[in-house]
Structure 1
Amino acid sequence: MSEESTHGPAVAGVVTAVVGFTSTFVVALAGLAAVGATAEQAASGLLTLCLTQALGMLWLSLRHRIPVTLAWSTPGAALLASSAGVAGGWPAAVGAFVVTGLLILLTSLVPRLGDLVAAIPHTLAMAMLAGILLPLCLAPVTALVASPTVVAPVVLTWVVLLRLARRWAVPGALAVALGTVVVTAGVDAATLAPQLTWTTPEWSASALVGVALPLYVVTMASQNVPGVAVMSGFGYRVPWRESLAVTGIGTVAGAPTGGHAINLAAISAALAAGPAAGPDRSRRWVAAVSAAITYVVLALASGLLVAMVVAAPDGVMQAAAGVALLGTLGSSLADALADPREREAAAATLVVAASGVSVLGIGAAFWALLVGLVLRAFLRRAPARSPVRTR
């Protein structure tokens, strides 16, 4: 075994973890904070997500010798960030995370449940995701107007790198944002050492319907299913049921310490499974192993990163999160509105999800999907034919 055959996959795995982590950790923290997590609990959640997905990657990649990579649910984090809180507070949110993990695990045991998720029209699922993302993607605009001196460098860095080195556009913008924090606020590295904080789960009907169910749907539809497709495109067959079992167990185990959901990686999966991980496809599983090890190292920075986010000037981190989600928003809109026959139902789903309304304590994502399904069924119903008149 030559040195070259292992060096390429190992480096690709490090890049996969660094890009995946830096591109979306602000979104994950924003989601946890929105449903009631304190700074310490959010740091614990970030640490937990890194560790559970690292353990899952090690299990799957070493067992099957394929580059299976995992990630936290970024669409799920965006869903949480767009919510107006949870009835019952943080303990109820943790209870919803547990139920989400149980639903993912149950999907691995009962294939029919996965069929039900697959039966949700893709246009409506993407429209719901787009509606969730839209308010978050408006943040760079409003923040730029409100605080141009601190937000403009973040946005400009993203624009320039998007042209020169697309992969590093979001990490670069985030690096500038964190640099702004260091210069303007000053953060003591010892303020938040990495630690796990336990929360005993509680359950409420509104949290289960308004958080657990939409979190399960967006995680399955926007992460797990595309993740399998990406891997298939590079010639790998993902152990579907086992991957769901691993991520479901990881989500349940990580929920009491703040992890909202882990799943198959989608976009970042291409970095570990594609040609960037070396010409030898049989050795690319090494990239998943090195990505897992890198996530463990990155987990050690969770406390410091939360401290920097807390100390950031208003608008800086929101802008970084917004530009990080613009690509996902664009692809979601394209998928949601692609079919003219589905366009009205998808548009209705989008605007309800973007509204952020809460009815009966249940958030907008659930109502958006319900409105879309009902309107789609009504519009697709064949109109009654007028009786034929005879002379």
Structure 2
Amino acid sequence: MRSPYRVSFRIQNVDGGVGRVTTTPEPVREAARRPYVAGVVAALVGFTSSFAVVLAGLRAVGASGPEAASGLLVLCLTQAVGMLVLSWRYRIPVTLAWSTPGAAMLAGAAATDGGWPAAVGAFVVTGLLIVTTAAWPALGGLVARIPAPVAHAMLAGVLLPLCLEPVHALTTSPWMVGPVVLTWLVLLRLAPRWAVPAAFAVAMAGIGLWLARHGDALDGPLLPQLVWTTPSLEWQAVVGIALPLYVVTMAAQNVPGVAVMASYGYRVPWRATMATTGIGTVLGAPAGGHAINLAAITAALTAGGDGGPDPRRRWLASQAAGWAYVVIALFSTALATVVVAAPDGVVEAVAGLALVGTLGASLHAAVTATVRREPAVVTFVVAASGITVAGIGAAFWALVAGVVVHLVLTRPPEPARP
């Protein structure tokens, strides 16, 4: 009769530095459940830690409350379908996410000419560029030629205004935002993975108490509802939103996502993934979705040890995450409506706390390069300035400034001597 327990070995240090082998029985049923638990946890952490950033970004480029809620709903659905298809087809834990850095870039952008329809048109162009990357690898190579410190500095610059929101909110709504920041700080020390979700839970409790006193502030749909917006092509939106959104999504999400998967021994099907995420972005754009891509942080939850002891079964974690996002999508509209009705600054404060770690990583990658730091610093300053020139936002001009300074300061290679 087969034993219901699987035996694993681990080495423990004892006095004198001598190793001792002990056995730790792990029930087979428990091991079989781990991929599904990891997938659900990845979905919950991914959603609660960054959905406020998505809402802030969509609202910044002109979306109304129902339109922003529709965007959040369609992002949940498109990334869920993409995960289910890719993980089933290739039997690897491919995990998708919405572009959190892209949403942060939108949050720092000003409304362009043409308003929300022009922003939706820019989302469509972003999706087409991602699809083109799958069919024409040279486009991805062109993005890769942008100096990495410049790309990271641009991301840090667009993140900075949103990361300042908790500071501003503490001065305007200390009784509501103070407990949120305190919860985030305590959990950052005890359980970092749950710091932002816990801060969001405290913020929701505060918003609920506020709405109980201001019931008339709740105005929007509570049931899942997709709001169609006919895309409009405006060159300012294409240059100021679509191009930076594409660059940020590729440099800060897709490329790190491939690296994370490779660190766990999985090779991402590049063309299939780019085609899936690009098509998903195009189809979701008229409903308000800005971009979906490979996950980087939550990918470690499904592809790593949390996804189970057998690497060949971890693709089930991505399946579980996909179905979890389908369930989350059913409640996303009501959640977005409640969040949009919150007092000014509360949601932005939660979004800023969620991006503190990303800001720190971007700044570190921007200024620790072995080459000169001036291009990265110039890029960061221009991106953080929030300027708008000719209807084009600061993210695009930051890339231009950084690349120009890099080209000026980079010495051309000396000709080879015979």
TM-score, L = length of structure 2: 0.90
- SS class of match (1:301): helix
> Is this contact kept in 1: 2:236–2:392, CA < 8 A?
yes
Partner of 1:238: 268
Partner of 1:388: none
Partner of 1:142: 168
1:176 aligned onto 2:202: yes
TM-fit CA distance, 1:290 = 0.4
Counterpart amino acid of 1:237?
R
Partner of 1:387: none
Distance 1:172 1:144 in 2: 18
1:6 aligned onto 2:32: yes
Q: Please list, as runs of the form range in 1=range in 2, the aligned pairs for 1:1-391 lying within 5 A after superposition.
A: 2-186=28-212, 191-381=221-411
- SS class of match (2:226): coil
Distance 2:235 2:221 in 1: 37
> Is this contact kept in 1: 2:339–2:347, CA < 8 A?
yes
- Unpaired runs of 5+ residues, structure 2, are 5-27
Deviations 1:281-307 (A, max 9, x none): 000000000000000111111221122
> Is this contact kept in 2: 1:5–1:283, CA < 8 A?
no
Counterpart amino acid of 2:316?
V
Distance 1:329 1:198 in 2: 33
Partner of 2:14: none
TM-fit CA distance, 1:190 = 8.2
Counterpart amino acid of 1:288?
S
Distance 1:151 1:145 in 2: 9
TM-fit CA distance, 1:191 = 4.3
- Unpaired runs of 5+ residues, structure 1, are 385-391
- Which range is displaced more, 29-38 or 307-316? 307-316
Counterpart amino acid of 1:218?
V
Counterpart amino acid of 1:167?
R
Q: Percent identity?
A: 64
> Is this contact kept in 1: 2:77–2:325, CA < 8 A?
yes
Distance 1:371 1:298 in 2: 41
TM-fit CA distance, 1:192 = 2.6
- SS class of match (2:57): helix
Distance 2:344 2:141 in 1: 43
Distance 1:46 1:190 in 2: 14
More helix by share: 1
- SS class of match (1:328): helix
TM-fit CA distance, 1:363 = 0.6
- SS class of match (2:389): coil
Distance 1:38 1:333 in 2: 32
Counterpart amino acid of 1:335?
A
- SS class of match (2:231): coil
- Which range is displaced more, 206-215 or 303-312? 303-312
Deviations 1:205-237 (A, max 9, x none): 100000000000000000000000000000000
TM-fit CA distance, 1:382 = 5.9
- SS class of match (1:341): coil
Distance 1:383 1:90 in 2: 46
Counterpart amino acid of 1:110?
W
Deviations 1:11-52 (A, max 9, x none): 000000000000000000111111111111111100000000
> Is this contact kept in 2: 1:80–1:211, CA < 8 A?
yes
Distance 1:156 1:5 in 2: 36
- SS class of match (1:105): helix
Deviations 1:178-202 (A, max 9, x none): 1100011136698432111111111
Distance 2:413 2:305 in 1: 52
TM-fit CA distance, 1:313 = 2.1
Distance 1:310 1:31 in 2: 12
TM-fit CA distance, 1:311 = 2.0
> Is this contact kept in 2: 1:47–1:194, CA < 8 A?
yes
Q: How many residues align?
A: 384
Counterpart amino acid of 1:292?
G
TM-fit CA distance, 1:168 = 0.1
> Is this contact kept in 1: 2:224–2:331, CA < 8 A?
yes
TM-fit CA distance, 1:84 = 1.0
> Is this contact kept in 2: 1:154–1:316, CA < 8 A?
no
Counterpart amino acid of 1:123?
P
Counterpart amino acid of 1:102?
L
Distance 2:260 2:147 in 1: 20
More strand by share: 2
TM-fit CA distance, 1:146 = 1.9
> Is this contact kept in 1: 2:220–2:337, CA < 8 A?
no
> Is this contact kept in 1: 2:45–2:197, CA < 8 A?
yes
TM-score, L = length of structure 1: 0.96
Distance 1:316 1:358 in 2: 26
Counterpart amino acid of 1:352?
V
